[in-house]
Structure 1
């Protein structure tokens, strides 16, 4: 097996992209495979040395792959000589995504494998937030641990803030930033005591110096978290309190008044 670089050469049509990832520097790196007799040869190529073309799914705009920073928001499909680029790489590496998220940026560019096994790039705007790693709902509190994504490291005492979408005033609890790491907890009783309707939804934030960072879990490969991920419920009297993920993978809390049992 050989890993020598070949400049300006793309394998025969039988070749596939073994890996296709966007690095911290927003450059697409592709490692191609080519069947040569009974040996699989790997060739690592930079897109600048190939003729990979990216095409925007909605607008039809075409761009080269040498500079991803000029890509507009949306889905881009990769092709070479008019043929989609086949890839074996799902584009997912948690370590790689964590490393990417540790860089301050306002746009995220992520490679992915389509259902047809071809290479695509997803470009979206991002703002700093807290990537939630752990949620504990027990003993009258909701506690979270996470890390700052797409923003600068922060140090100092902070607050975990629950903001109702309608009605009650915000409720907060203690939190701490240590570089990128964040820990915080909030009591559920004040939220339940402010319950004025049958159901109230609260969004969670980490706040320091007047700046609120939303809590969310977006770096993993779990889709439809709102349906698939279930946290345990707690009760304050007749009020049921349960954390949940929104459709955009934000962390929120639902409070519902349960009817008394006869």
Structure 2
């Protein structure tokens, strides 16, 4: 795969015949390596009527980061299936901020990230926490330098609004009136919600902990802890 959505295959020796892609759900077939216009879903690759075997796992974080630098509304990834054949997954995407670092310490949450699938931005922004139910949004300062973002959010203003035992806040970057979600989707870590743990902080009896949701978005959980727990 390259940034122009062309499939690149390295053969151990010269071969004849085109690669054919077949959509798993619809049975639609496409011959060739130009992937423009592929419908969302999973496509299996074959050559001369046989599944195309590969020993390439299809994952490179550096390549995915470069790919995400191009504004686009569809993401195409090549990968090796469990039986060792080549497949592609196609999905619709929208610009967001790919999280590269999270620091939870000293009464604040700091986030660093990169714009994925959108244009580069220069200038000030806001790191915004939006409660799923109840309190008004809380924000802190942020800054874009091209594709890179860094933002800072004090946790006390969120904890001070706590009226229920548990409140969940989703994190966004706001710039020029537009909110971009924060998420980590360009790595190969699955089930981040249970496998990635950030340090918790406390404001009185309120525990504040960043976490990844089922969709790998970055959020914050605030929980009132009982005394002695």
Please tell me the TM-score bracket, short chain as reference. Answer: over 0.9
Pairing 1:146–2:113 present:
yes
2:97 corresponds to which of 124, 130, 141: 130
Which residue matches 1:201? 168
Q: How many residues align?
A: 229
4+ aligned runs moved over 4 Å, structure 1: none
Q: Distance in 2 between matches of 1:65 and 1:233?
A: 51
For the aligned residue pairs, the C-alpha RMSD in angstroms reads: 1.3
Pairing 1:69–2:36 present:
yes
2:3 corresponds to which of 6, 24, 34: 24
Q: Distance in 2 between matches of 1:249 and 1:81?
A: 38
Q: Distance in 1 between matches of 2:77 and 2:139?
A: 34
Q: Distance in 1 between matches of 2:18 and 2:149?
A: 43
Greater relative contact order structure (CA < 8 Å, 6+ sep): 2
TM-score, normalised with respect to structure 1: 0.85
Pairing 1:248–2:215 present:
yes
1:33 corresponds to which of 12, 30, 48: 12
Secondary structure of 1:68's aligned partner: coil
- Aligned-residue offset at 1:63: 1.2
Unaligned runs of 5+ residues in structure 2 are: none
Q: Does structure 1 conserve the Cα–Cα contact (< 8 Å) formed by 2:8 and 2:33? A: no
- Aligned-residue offset at 1:91: 0.8
TM-score, normalised with respect to structure 2: 0.97
Which runs of structure 2 are paired with 1:177-192 in the superposition (5 Å)?
177-192=144-159
Unaligned runs of 5+ residues in structure 1 are: 1-21, 35-42
Relative to structure 1, is the Cα distance of residues 178 and 109 closer, same or farther in structure 2, using a 3 angstrom cutoff?
A: same
Indicate the structure (1 or 2) with the bigger Cα radius of gyration: 1
- Aligned-residue offset at 1:67: 2.4
Pairing 1:80–2:47 present:
yes
